[in-house]
Structure formats: structure tokens, C-alpha cells
């Protein structure tokens, strides 16, 4: 049944207004703290080609950890299951930038969505491609059919200047033999990758292949086979929203990946992909208004994976 997502998005846009000043904009990357917490955008890309949007859906924002999903999809599509010898598939139960588990798990990160795991994926891409972050950028440009998508070099530099913890994680993994390229170049690639900016409308389109079982809906190009796409969806559900994936699944009921820029990409397999952005974060690091918006979306549409 075709639903009128536009009236649902308009309702949600109205409902989130009181929440927009409640979250806290990330400030550990200094450049990110300059974004106004009052922004809110949402876009739905239906697999039949219909699109819907509300609010600031055409304003670019910093993707940050959402790029980890695209980097993982690229690495998985090229390298296959061998990537799981270097990174796990379990929720970490720890903050996304934690070091502690790495010591007793001998440099193998719990999953590809915590920073340690994402750095391993960057390292895998750096071995395969001339420049890992360029490979990810070209990949998302192709997925969104938007050649103007780019890095934000000021955000990238801001993160690189303060990347002490990520560097520590990378050195730690190198000591365990789980980082093959030089730490400085992996960190540089990772910071540039995280700085990619997109609009909600672009992000929903770029993620739609994961809702369409691995195949880009508008071009028919297969990025991942259906089984691999299922596996990435499962990882998003269990590990994609920081240390709150259980609560996010309880509230929203969709696989999703969030980022400290305040964006969330959520998937309704076989139906649509949804991107939402609001930079104010809750205590777990997920967009406060964004999570609420997705919770309302699956409630009002009565659609989720459950």
C-alpha cells in the first residue's frame, strides 16, 4: 500500500519543534560546535522512486560516523568475509571511542562502527586503493548520483588537530598487528572520510541500496548480494547507534547508523530509506530530535522490521 509520507513528515516536523534546543551539539571536534542546534531535516527515498522531505532536508551536514557504513559496504563488497578476521560483529557495550576493550581483546575491535573498527576498515581500504577516503567519496557520489558531494576540509582539519584518542586507538592496534598502513595516514584518511557532507535527501538516496537488498534501486546496479546486504542491516540494528542500539531498536524498530553530526540513516528493507538530521545529541550521542522523529515515523506509518 502506498502511504502518503508527506503528511507524516509534516506532522513530525511540527512535533519536533520543542525538542530542537534540548540536545547538545557535539563540541569535541571544535568545528562541529558551530552548527545551530535548531536545525531539523528529514527525507524519505522510496524504492519506487518517490521522494518526500521536510524542514532542512536540502541543507548539508557533517556525516561523521555515518560514513563508517559506506566505508564498510565498500570494503565488504571488495574484500568479502576476510574483513571479519580483523574486526568483530558484536555490540561493544562501551563508548564509540573507548580503548579499554582493545587491550584484552588483543587489538581486534568489537565491530566496524566503533572508531577502532572503522579505523581497521580505513586501513583495509588504504591497502586496496591509492587513497581510502577518495574511494569512499567516489562511492557515495555514485550511490547518491551526485558528483558535487565533497569533504569539508575545515571539519577534517579540526578533527585531525584533535585526534589524540583516535591516534591512540590506531597505535594500539598497530602494536597488535591489526593496522598495516602508517598511523598518520590512516588517521588523515579517516578524518577526511568523516568530514563528508551531504543533505538528508542525498543521504536517503545513497543508502537506498541497503533497503533494496544490495542493489541501487534507480540504476539496478548490484553493490552487494542480498545476503551481504542483510548482514550489514543486521549490524546496523545491533551496533549502528552507539551504545544505545538496544534502546534505539526498541523505540524505532529499524536498522540505522547515526553520527555525531546529528544525522541518522535508517532503512525500511524492501520499502524505503530515511535520513534525518538535527545536530542536538542526546546523552548517548544520537540525535535527540532525529531519534524521536524516526520513532514517530515508524509509529505513524505502522511500519518497521518487526
Residues marked as catalytic: 65, 68, 190, 242, 260
User: What is the footprint of ligand GLU within residues 109-138 (CB under 6 A)?
Assistant: 115
Whichever of 171 and 218 has its CB closer to ligand GLU, that residue is 171
Whichever of 108 and 260 has its CB closer to ligand GLU, that residue is 260
Considering the rule CB under 6 A, would residue 159 count as an interface residue with ligand GLU? yes
Determine how β-strand 272-277 pairs with β-strand 263-268: antiparallel
Which of the 8 DSSP states describes residue 285? S
Query: Which three three-digit cell numbers place residue 210?
Result: 541497503
Considering the rule CB under 6 A, would residue 194 count as an interface residue with ligand GLU? yes
The distance of closest approach from Cβ of residue 81 to ligand GLU in the complex, given in angstroms and rounded to an integer, is 25
Considering the rule CB under 6 A, would residue 64 count as an interface residue with ligand GLU? yes
Whichever of 3 and 95 has its CB closer to ligand GLU, that residue is 95
Give CA–CA dist 221/216, Å, rounded.
5
User: Rounded to the nearest 5 degrees, what angle is found at the Cα of 70, between the Cα atoms of 95 and 155?
Assistant: 65
The distance of closest approach from Cβ of residue 64 to ligand GLU in the complex, given in angstroms and rounded to an integer, is 3
Query: Which three three-digit cell numbers place residue 101?
Result: 576493550
Query: Which three three-digit cell numbers place residue 188?
Result: 588523515
Considering the rule CB under 6 A, would residue 260 count as an interface residue with ligand GLU? yes
Whichever of 97 and 299 has its CB closer to ligand GLU, that residue is 97
The distance of closest approach from Cβ of residue 14 to ligand GLU in the complex, given in angstroms and rounded to an integer, is 28
Integer CA distances (angstroms), 173 to 22, 69, 81, 86, 255, in order? 37, 21, 20, 10, 28
Considering the rule CB under 6 A, would residue 187 count as an interface residue with ligand GLU? no
Give CA–CA dist 197/59, Å, rounded.
9
Interior/surface letters 121-152, b for 16+ CB within 10 angstroms, e for the rest: bbbbbbeebeebbebbbebbbbbbebeebebb
Considering the rule CB under 6 A, would residue 272 count as an interface residue with ligand GLU? no
The distance of closest approach from Cβ of residue 95 to ligand GLU in the complex, given in angstroms and rounded to an integer, is 10
Are the beta carbons of 287 and 274 closer than 8 angstroms?
no
Give the 3-state secondary structure percentages of the chain, helix then strand then coil, rounded to 5.
Answer: 50, 10, 35
- In the list 12, 46, 55, 65, the residue contacting ligand GLU (rule: CB under 6 A) is 65
Number of residues binding to ligand GLU, judged by CB under 6 A: 10
Whichever of 47 and 260 has its CB closer to ligand GLU, that residue is 260
- In the list 109, 240, 259, 290, the residue contacting ligand GLU (rule: CB under 6 A) is 259
Considering the rule CB under 6 A, would residue 166 count as an interface residue with ligand GLU? yes
Are the beta carbons of 241 and 248 closer than 8 angstroms?
yes
Give the contacts of 78 (CB within 8 A, at least 6 positions apart): 128
The distance of closest approach from Cβ of residue 118 to ligand GLU in the complex, given in angstroms and rounded to an integer, is 7
Secondary structure (3-state) at 165: helix
The distance of closest approach from Cβ of residue 79 to ligand GLU in the complex, given in angstroms and rounded to an integer, is 22
Whichever of 5 and 277 has its CB closer to ligand GLU, that residue is 277
Considering the rule CB under 6 A, would residue 96 count as an interface residue with ligand GLU? yes
Residues near ligand GLU, by CB under 6 A = 64-65, 96-97, 115, 159, 166, 194, 259-260
Amino acid at each position: 500500500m502506498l502511504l502518503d509520507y508527506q503528511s507524516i513528515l509534516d506532522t513530525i516536523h511540527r512535533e519536533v519543534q520543542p525538542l530542537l534546543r534540548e540536545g547538545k551539539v557535539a563540541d569535541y571536534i571544535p568545528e562541529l560546535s558551530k552548527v545551530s542546534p535548531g536545525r531539523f531535516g528529514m527525507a524519505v527515498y522510496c524504492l519506487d522512486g518517490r521522494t518526500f522531505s521536510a524542514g532542512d532536508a536540502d541543507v548539508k551536514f557533517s556525516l561523521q560516523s555515518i560514513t563508517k557504513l559506506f566505508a564498510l559496504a565498500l570494503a565488504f563488497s571488495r574484500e568479502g568475509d576476510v574483513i571479519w578476521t580483523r574486526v568483530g560483529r558484536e555490540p561493544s557495550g562501551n563508548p564509540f571511542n573507548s580503548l579499554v576493550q582493545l587491550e584484552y581483546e588483543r587489538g581486534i575491535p568489537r565491530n566496524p562502527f566503533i572508531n577502532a573498527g572503522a579505523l581497521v576498515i580505513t586501513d583495509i581500504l588504504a591497502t586496496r586503493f591509492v587513497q581510502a577516503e577518495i574511494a569512499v567519496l567516489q562511492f557515495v557520489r555514485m550511490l547518491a548520483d551526485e558528483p558535487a558531494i565533497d569533504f569539508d576540509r575545515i571539519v577534517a582539519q579540526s578533527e585531525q588537530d584533535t585526534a589524540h584518542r583516535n591516534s591512540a586507538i590506531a597505535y594500539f592496534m598497530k602494536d597488535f598487528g591489526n593496522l598495516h598502513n602508517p598511523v598518520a595516514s590512516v588517521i588523515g584518511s579517516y578524518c577526511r572520510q568523516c568530514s563528508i557532507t551531504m543533505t538528508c535527501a542525498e543521504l536517503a538516496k545513497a543508502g537506498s541500496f541497503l533497503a533494496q537488498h544490495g542493489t541501487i534501486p534507480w540504476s539496478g546496479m548490484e553493490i552487494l548480494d542480498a545476503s551481504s546486504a542483510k548482514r550489514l542491516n543486521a549490524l546496523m540494528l545491533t551496533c549502528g547507534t552507539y551504545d544505545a542500539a538496544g534502546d534505539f531498536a526498541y523505540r524505532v524498530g529499524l536498522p540505522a547508523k547515526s553520527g555525531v553530526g546529528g544525522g541518522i540513516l535508517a532503512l525500511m528493507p524492501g520499502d524505503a530509506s530515511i535520513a534525518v538530521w538535527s545536530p542536538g545529541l542526546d546523552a548517548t550521542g544520537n540525535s535527540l530530535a532525529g531519534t524521536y522523529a524516526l520513532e514517530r515515523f515508524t509509529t505513524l506509518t505502522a511500519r518497521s522490521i518487526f
